[in-house]
C-alpha cells in the first residue's frame, strides 16, 4: 500500500516539540531535514509567535544546525499580511504589536497608523511584548467609535507563550480578552489552528495543498490547522501530545508517528 505521505513535496513544520525541545534537537530531526533537501522536497517552519521576526527563529535553527532561510519561515504575522491584503490592498492598520510586526506590515504595503485615526481600516492585535496602556486605549476607541467601528483581527489565538523553566507568559489571546472585556468585541484570530495559517504558508511557498503535509506535536493547534485547511496532517509524539489527545480533542490526523524521523523514506516504492 502506498504511504499516505508518499506524494508530498511540501512540509509545513511546527518547531518546538517537533524539531527541537527548548534548546535541544529532537533525535533524527536533522536527518529528516537533510532527507527533505536530498529528495528535492520543500519545507517551511510555522510559528504562531508574532512578537519576533522570522530572523530570531532562523538564528535558533542555525545554532541547532538546521538549514533554513527566510523562504523556510512563516509566522502568524506573515499570515496576517496575506489575510488582510486579500481584504484590502494597502490598508491602514492600527497595530497593537511589536515594532518588528509593524515593520513586517509596512514591508507588505500597509500603512501603520500612529493613533486611532478616522481612516484606519483594521485593528490588528499581535503578541505584543511591547504593550502599553495607550495602545489599549487607542484600540478601544477604534472598536467603539460610533461611525465605522473598525473590524478586529488578531494574529494568533494563544493565551500563553511557553517561557523558560515551565513558566508561561501572556500571549495575544490574553491581550485581546482585555479588549473584549472592555468593548464587547472579539477578534477573528488568524494563526494555527485556523486554516488561514496553513493556506497562507502554502501560498507563500507556491505549493499545492494536495501535495502538502502539516507536521506538529499539538493536536488542537497543529493537526487541527491541517484538518481545517483540508491537507494531510502528521501528529508526532515527540513533544507535548499523546495518543489520548485524539479522542480528547476529536481531531484525527492523517498519520501518527513517534517523530519526524519516521517520515524519512515514505516516498520509497
Ligand atoms: Mg509544538
Q: What's the 230 CA to ligand 1 centre distance in angstroms? A: 20
Question: CA angle 49-168-250, nearest 5°?
Answer: 70
Torsion angle (degrees, nearest 10) of CA 93, 128, 79, 184: -70
| Strand 20-21, strand 24-25: pairing | antiparallel
Using CB atoms within 10 Å of the CB of residue 268, give its burial: 0 to 12 exposed, 13 to 18 middle, 19+ buried. exposed
Q: What is the pLDDT of residue 32?
A: 98
Question: CA angle 252-189-140, nearest 5°?
Answer: 155
Q: What's the 93 CA to ligand 1 centre distance in angstroms? A: 30
Sheet holding 73-75, edge to edge: 73-75, 42-47, 10-13, 212-216, 232-236, 255-257
Cβ within 8 Å of residue 138, ≥6 positions away: 94, 96, 115, 116
Cell of 170: 501572556
CATH class (in words) of the domain with range 10-48+192-263? alpha beta
Q: What's the 216 CA to ligand 1 centre distance in angstroms? A: 6
Q: What is the pLDDT of residue 91?
A: 97
Indicate left, alpha or beta for 12 from its phi (over 0: left) and psi (-120 to 50: alpha). beta
Q: What is the pLDDT of residue 12?
A: 98
76-85 average pLDDT score? 95
Confidence check: pLDDT of 131 > 90: yes
Confidence check: pLDDT of 269 > 70: no
Q: What is the pLDDT of residue 22?
A: 82
Q: What's the 117 CA to ligand 1 centre distance in angstroms? A: 38
Q: Supply the pTM of this predicted model.
A: 0.91
Which segments of the chain belong to CATH 3.40.50.1000? 10-48+192-263, 85-189
The CA distances from residue 154 to 23, 60, 94, 105, 122, in Å, are: 28, 25, 12, 13, 10
**pLDDT tens digits, 17-73:** 999 998 899 999 999 999 999 999 999 999 998 887 788 889 999 999 999 999 999
Neighbours of ion ligand 1 (CB under 5 A): 14, 16-17, 217, 239
Alpha helices, H only, 29-156 = 29-38, 54-63, 76-87, 99-107, 133-144
- Mean pLDDT (the chain, rounded): 95
Q: What's the 240 CA to ligand 1 centre distance in angstroms? A: 7
207-224 average pLDDT score? 97
Q: What's the 119 CA to ligand 1 centre distance in angstroms? A: 38
pLDDT band at 155 (very low <50, low <70, confident <90, very high): very high
| Strand 10-13, strand 212-216: pairing | parallel
Q: What's the 52 CA to ligand 1 centre distance in angstroms? A: 17
The percentage of residues in the chain with a pLDDT greater than 90, rounded to a whole number, is 90
Q: What is the pLDDT of residue 56?
A: 83
| Cα gap 259→70, rounded to integer Å | 25
| Strand 255-257, strand 232-236: pairing | parallel
Which of 29-43, 157-171, 184-198 comes out lowest in average pLDDT? 157-171
CATH class (in words) of the domain with range 85-189? alpha beta
pLDDT band at 136 (very low <50, low <70, confident <90, very high): very high
Which of 16-25, 162-171, 214-223 comes out lowest in average pLDDT? 162-171
Q: What's the 16 CA to ligand 1 centre distance in angstroms? A: 4
Cβ proximity of 7 and 266 under 8 Å: no
Using CB atoms within 10 Å of the CB of residue 81, give its burial: 0 to 12 exposed, 13 to 18 middle, 19+ buried. buried
Q: What's the 195 CA to ligand 1 centre distance in angstroms? A: 17
Q: What's the 126 CA to ligand 1 centre distance in angstroms? A: 19
Amino acid at each position: 500500500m502506498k504511504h499516505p505521505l508518499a506524494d508530498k513535496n511540501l512540509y509545513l513544520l511546527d518547531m518546538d516539540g517537533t524539531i527541537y525541545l527548548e534548546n535541544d534537537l529532537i533525535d533524527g530531526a536533522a536527518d529528516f531535514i537533510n532527507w527533505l533537501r536530498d529528495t528535492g522536497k520543500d519545507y517551511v517552519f510555522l510559528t504562531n509567535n508574532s512578537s519576533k521576526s522570522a530572523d530570531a527563529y532562523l538564528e535558533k535553527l542555525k545554532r541547532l544546525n538546521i538549514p533554513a532561510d527566510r523562504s523556510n519561515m512563516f509566522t502568524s504575522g506573515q499570515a496576517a499580511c496575506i489575510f488582510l491584503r486579500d481584504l484590502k490592498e494597502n490598508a491602514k492598520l492600527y497595530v497593537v504589536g511589536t515594532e518588528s510586526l509593524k515593520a513586517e506590515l509596512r514591508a507588505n504595503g500597509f500603512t501603520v497608523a500612529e493613533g486611532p485615526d478616522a481612516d484606519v481600516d483594521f485593528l490588528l492585535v499581535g503578541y505584543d511584548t511591547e504593550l502599553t496602556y495607550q495602545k489599549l486605549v487607542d484600540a478601544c476607541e477604534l472598536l467603539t467609535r460610533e461611525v465605522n467601528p473598525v473590524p478586529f483581527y488578531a494574529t494568533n489565538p494563544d493565551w500563553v507563550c511557553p517561557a523558560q523553566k515551565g513558566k508561561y507568559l501572556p500571549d495575544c489571546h490574553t491581550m485581546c480578552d482585555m479588549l473584549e472585556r472592555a468593548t464587547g468585541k472579539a477578534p477573528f484570530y488568524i494563526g494555527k489552528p485556523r486554516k488561514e495559517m496553513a493556506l497562507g504558508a502554502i501560498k507563500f511557498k507556491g505549493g499545492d495543498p494536495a501535495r502538502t503535509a502539516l507536521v506538529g506535536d499539538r493536536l488542537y493547534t497543529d493537526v487541527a490547522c491541517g484538518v481545517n485547511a483540508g491537507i494531510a496532517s502528521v501528529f508526532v509524539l515527540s513533544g507535548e501530545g499523546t495518543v489520548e489527545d485524539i479522542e480528547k480533542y476529536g481531531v484525527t490526523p492523517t498519520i501518527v508517528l513517534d517523530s519526524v524521523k519516521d517520515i524519512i523514506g515514505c516516498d520509497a516504492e
